[in-house]
């Protein structure tokens, strides 16, 4: 059963973040550090995650880094070998040339396979730069900015969009693009990483697209799902 929350605005968002992070964060100070990634690895990992499940994209990334010891080796390998390595992630024949073209662009622009220069750009400029690569959209750029560069942006994946609507943080008809604008604006900067990570874990574990497991949900009191579904 859900009932109206007495909290509004920022206080409500902070409480939702606290409750979800208490359930899904590992409770240690190391979690933030563990979630950090090298910007280039983060970019490739998020390209691999497009249009597939988390399990499959994790496997594809692991297979890719196992098959090729360096990003230079990935860039120089025959396209078919890269596609074979990432086959588990789906759309391998599209993602392999995309990743290799990205690596060539990075090498040409930076003289090395390294995107750490992005940390010296402001978030808007870095986002625009990342989105200039073919196949890199708003969510992918936001993941790199949040995880690798510790910028206060909020990536919106399908879990965040669905849960944001169920928790009445987003309007029912809100698009993913509009949701990026909303979350960037309303989620306090220091909550962005925890809320994003918690929402993804909550979506995988419990708040599934159909038949969510609502019994014992830590944020049920804020949820409109029973009303949405009647
Ligand atoms: S698990 Fe159920 S109660 Fe919890 S947020 Fe999802 S739909 Fe709402």
Q: Residues 58, 85: one domain?
A: yes
- Of 148, 182, 203, the one marking the end of a domain is 148
- Of 89, 116, 148, the one marking the end of a domain is 148
| Residue whose CA is at the smallest distance from ligand 1 atom 2 | 214
Q: Residues 43, 144: one domain?
A: yes
What does the pLDDT read at residue 54?
78
| Residue whose CA is at the smallest distance from ligand 1 atom 7 | 225
Task: Tell how far CA 88 is from the center of its chain.
Answer: 19
Q: Residues 163, 144: one domain?
A: no
Q: Residues 130, 50: one domain?
A: yes
Domain that holds residue 206: 9-33+154-229
Q: Residues 44, 140: one domain?
A: yes
Counting beta carbons within 10 angstroms of the beta carbon of residue 24, is it exposed (0 to 12), middle (13 to 18) or buried (19 or more)? buried
CATH number of the domain enclosing 184:
1.10.1670.10
Residue-wise burial string across 63-77, b where 16 or more C-beta atoms lie within 10 A, e elsewhere:
bbbeebeebeebbeb
Chain position carrying tokens 């590992």: 26
Note whether residue 1 is domain-resident. Answer: no
Is the pLDDT score of 124 beyond 60?
yes
What does the pLDDT read at residue 100?
96
Counting every residue written for the chain, the total comes to 230
Q: How many CA atoms lie within 13 A of 141 on its CB side?
A: 19
Q: Residues 48, 111: one domain?
A: yes
Is the pLDDT score of 185 beyond 60?
yes
Query: What is the mean predicted confidence (pLDDT) over 21-47?
Result: 75
Q: Best of 217, 227, 230 to mutate for ligand 1, by most ligand atoms within 8 A of CB?
A: 217
- Please report which confidence band the pLDDT of residue 1 belongs to, taking 50, 70 and 90 as the band edges: very low
Note whether residue 24 is domain-resident. Answer: yes
The catalytic residues are 139
Q: How many CA atoms lie within 13 A of 55 on its CB side?
A: 2
Note whether residue 68 is domain-resident. Answer: yes
The C-alpha atoms of residue 89 and residue 50 are separated, in whole angstroms, by 9
The C-alpha atoms of residue 22 and residue 107 are separated, in whole angstroms, by 41
Query: What is the mean predicted confidence (pLDDT) over 173-181?
Result: 93
CATH number of the domain enclosing 109:
1.10.340.30
What does the pLDDT read at residue 230?
44
225 token code pair: 């799902």
pTM of the model as a whole: 0.82
192 token code pair: 């962005």
- Of 105, 123, 148, the one marking the end of a domain is 148
Note whether residue 220 is domain-resident. Answer: yes
Residue-wise burial string across 2-18, b where 16 or more C-beta atoms lie within 10 A, e elsewhere:
beebeeeeeebbbbbbb
The C-alpha atoms of residue 82 and residue 74 are separated, in whole angstroms, by 7
Q: Best of 20, 23, 166 to mutate for ligand 1, by most ligand atoms within 8 A of CB?
A: 166
* Helix/strand/coil for 146: helix
Q: Best of 203, 219, 230 to mutate for ligand 1, by most ligand atoms within 8 A of CB?
A: 219
* Helix/strand/coil for 104: helix
Closest ligand 1 atom to Cα of 220: 3
Q: Residues 61, 139: one domain?
A: yes
User: From the CB of 19, is ligand 1 less than 6 Å away?
Assistant: no
- Please report which confidence band the pLDDT of residue 2 belongs to, taking 50, 70 and 90 as the band edges: very low
Note whether residue 2 is domain-resident. Answer: no
Q: Residues 21, 66: one domain?
A: no
User: From the CB of 44, is ligand 1 less than 6 Å away?
Assistant: no
Q: Residues 59, 133: one domain?
A: yes
Model confidence over 39-51: pLDDT tens digits? 899 889 888 988 8
> 83 CA distance to ligand 1 centroid (A)?
38
User: From the CB of 224, is ligand 1 less than 6 Å away?
Assistant: no
- Please report which confidence band the pLDDT of residue 36 belongs to, taking 50, 70 and 90 as the band edges: low
Q: Residues 140, 118: one domain?
A: yes
Q: Residues 139, 48: one domain?
A: yes
The C-alpha atoms of residue 27 and residue 86 are separated, in whole angstroms, by 33
Note whether residue 3 is domain-resident. Answer: no
**DSSP type of residue 213:** -
Looking at the structure of the chain, the number of domains it has is 2
Query: What is the mean predicted confidence (pLDDT) over 20-37?
Result: 69
Q: Residues 143, 166: one domain?
A: no
Note whether residue 4 is domain-resident. Answer: no
The C-alpha atoms of residue 45 and residue 65 are separated, in whole angstroms, by 10
């Amino acid at each position: 059963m859900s009932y109206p929350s007495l909290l509004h605005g920022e206080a409500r968002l902070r409480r939702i973040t606290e409750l979800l992070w208490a359930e899904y964060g590992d409770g240690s100070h190391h979690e933030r550090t563990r979630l950090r990634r090298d910007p280039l690895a983060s970019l490739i990992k998020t390209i691999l995650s497009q249009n597939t499940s988390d399990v499959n994209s994790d496997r594809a990334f692991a297979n890719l880094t196992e098959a090729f010891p360096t990003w230079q080796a990935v860039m120089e390998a025959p396209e078919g070998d890269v596609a074979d390595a990432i086959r588990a992630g789906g759309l391998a024949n599209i993602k392999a040339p995309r990743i290799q073209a990205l690596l060539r662009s990075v090498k040409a622009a930076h003289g090395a396979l390294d995107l750490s220069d992005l940390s010296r750009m402001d978030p808007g400029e870095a986002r625009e730069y990342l989105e200039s690569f073919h196949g890199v959209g708003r969510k992918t750029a936001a993941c790199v900015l949040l995880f690798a560069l510790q910028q206060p942006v909020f990536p919106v994946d399908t879990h965040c969009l669905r849960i944001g609507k169920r928790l009445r943080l987003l309007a029912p008809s809100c698009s993913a693009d509009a949701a990026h604008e909303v979350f960037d604006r309303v989620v306090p900067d220091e909550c962005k990483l925890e809320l994003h990570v918690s929402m993804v874990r909550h979506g995988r574990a419990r708040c599934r697209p159909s038949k969510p497991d609502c019994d014992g949900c830590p944020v049920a009191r804020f949820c409109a799902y029973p009303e949405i579904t009647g």
